[in-house]
Amino acid sequence: MSTNNLQSCKRKMFLHGHGRQSTSIDDLGLDILVYEILIRLPAKGVGRSKCVCKEWLSLLSTRHFAMMHCRHISTTYNQKFIAIGSRLCSVFPLSCKDSGPLLNSRILLPFEAPWNKVNILTSFEGLLCVCFRNTGKLVIWNPLTRAFKEVSSSNSRGLYKPKSDAIGLYVDKTDDYKLLHIKRRRGRMWVHVYSSMFDSWHKITFANKLRCWRGKPIWSNGTFCKGVLYFLVNCFIENKGVMLFGFDVESERFKLKTFPRFPHAYYDGNLVVVHKELHMFVTHGLPNCTVDLWRMEGESWVKLWVFPRIQPIILSYSITHIASTGRFLVVSNDGVANEIDTTKKGDDCFLPVVWFHGLQGAIYTENLSSPDFYFH
């Protein structure tokens, strides 16, 4: 909504507070109420607001409001860390300024699967993509609303194989949540895209034309930024180093992107989105690794920060930006976690995190996004 509407709302509340006129919620106007006030509430607050009346329930339950709410809060607050272990599934807040133990809430999985058979692959706008280790089936899930959608089909599309496949969640210009699945079997590769709007898969037919995809490259899962889903491809087995590919979600075409260049023979990267810009942590040099933070600007990269020579970030780590604190969470595949604070220097910038040590998990932002809006 416009600035004038917001100022009008503030003026009415000011006058009411000084006894100059009586102002009710109805006087604010429905647009101001919904798109200037309710849209700013945390997701759980929106859920409680649905109980006010039938009109609010109807307005706040629409897909349009959910998408607007998601865009508004995605870079501000409500970030959580969800951890799935063999005996528990817990959600931790990430707003504290210290790395001590935090209160957590236990949640129940809405689908029929043992906790120790569920593997979180990636997160995007409050949605998690998980796979069942015993079947390979893929599920898109919102832990807050408990809504989920199993996307695996009867013709074996959407069956995930660890250490071979890669996936990426994104949204296109029609606000259709989609899942890209890169599938590798016996030296061949297929790429399929699932649409939540149409509840169907379609094939990207040209993918195998890229010669550099042959062999046994190691693919990262996708990182979505500004209409492009980015993948890091480690081809050191083929003596090609690490390459960065971008999948344009509108044209559905892959393109080789530039990668920061280093004098060392060994290097690797880890992608992360910070303030809607694509960044990359790059590890280079052996045996004494150095880690740099770079930001993509256009088609080139700019170095922002050099990691001190302490515990290195290596292949087995994933890195996520914590918007609520401005720091980065570094989680190993074994569940060992540390925080990086780029505003500090030396050893002070590297903080061990003990409150979910040994757990598998991911950071996500609590919101109302749903993989099954189209089927209500």
Question: Are 145 and 187 in a shared domain?
Answer: yes
Does residue 328 share a domain with residue 286? Answer: yes
Q: What is the pLDDT along the chain (376 residues), one digit of tens a residue?
A: 444 544 554 444 334 444 445 555 555 677 777 777 888 787 778 888 888 888 888 888 787 787 777 777 655 456 788 887 666 677 877 654 444 445 567 888 888 887 778 888 998 888 999 999 889 999 999 988 888 999 988 777 889 998 889 999 999 998 899 999 999 887 788 899 999 989 999 999 765 455 555 567 788 999 999 999 999 998 755 556 788 999 999 999 999 999 887 766 677 888 988 888 999 988 877 666 777 889 999 999 999 987 766 554 544 567 777 766 677 877 766 666 777 887 777 777 777 765 555 556 777 888 887 776 554 4
* Residue 105 lies inside a defined structural domain of this protein: no
Same-domain status, 249 and 283: no
Sign of the dihedral defined by the CA atoms of residues 56, 62, 66, 71, in that order: negative
Residue with tokens 């990691």: 307
Q: What is the pTM of this model?
A: 0.81
Residues 252 and 286 in one domain: no
CA-wise closest residue to 172 among 195, 151, 149, 190: 195
Nearest in space to 190 (alpha carbons), one of 172, 165, 169, 168: 165
Task: Report the domain count for the chain.
Answer: 3
For residues 320 and 312, the answer to whether their CB atoms sit within 8 Å is no
Whether 333 maps to a domain, the answer reads: yes
Regarding whether 263 and 202 lie in a shared domain, the answer is no
Q: What is the rounded CA–CA span in Å between residue 46 and residue 40?
A: 9
* pLDDT tens per residue, range 65-103: 877 777 776 554 567 888 876 666 778 776 544 444 455
11 within some domain: no
Dist CA 201 CA 193 (whole Å): 5
CA distance 271 to 274: 10
Half-sphere exposure (Cβ direction) of 109: Cα atoms closer than 13 Å: 24
Same domain, 117 and 234: yes
CB burial readout 308-329, b (16+ within 10 A) else e: eeeeebeeebbbbbbbbeebbb
- Give the 3-state DSSP-derived string for the chain, with helices as H, strands as E and coil as C: CCHHHHHHHHHHHHHHHCCCCCCCHHHHCHHHHHHHHHHHCCHHHHHHHCCCCHHHHHHHCCHHHHHHHHHHHCCCCCEEEEEECCCCEEEEECCCCCCCCCCCEECCCCCCCCHHHEEEEEEECCEEEEEECCCCEEEEECCCCCCEEECCCCCCCCECCCCCCEEEEEECCCCCEEEEEEEEECCEEEEEEEECCCCEEEECCCHHHCHHHCCCCEECCCEEECCEEEEEEECHHHCCCEEEEEEECCCCEEEEECCCCCCCCCEEEEEEEECCEEEEEEEECCCCCEEEEEEEECCEEEEEEECCCCCCCCCCEEEEEECCCCEEEEEECCCCEEEECCCCCHHHHEEEECCCCCCEEEEEECCCCCCCHHHC
Residues 242 and 370 in one domain: yes
Residue 323: closest CA among 78, 63, 56, 22: 78
116 and 239 fall within a common domain: yes
Domain assignment present for 17: no
Domain presence at residue 191: yes
Domain check: are 164 and 283 in the same one? no
Residues 233 and 313 placed together within one structural domain of the fold: no
Identify whether 2 is part of a domain: no
Q: Is residue 87 part of a domain?
A: no
- Which residues form the domain of 157? 111-256+360-375
Listed as own residue / partner, the contacts of 162-165 with beta carbons closer than 8 Å and 24 or more positions apart are 162/119, 162/131, 162/133, 165/219
Regarding whether 366 and 220 lie in a shared domain, the answer is: yes
**Residue 5 within a domain:** no
Does 125 share its domain with 250? Answer: yes
The answer to whether 169 and 129 have CB atoms below 8 angstroms apart is yes
Phi, psi torsion values for 5, nearest 5 degrees: -65, -40
Amino acid at 86: S
> CA 150, CA 224: separation in Å to the nearest integer?
21
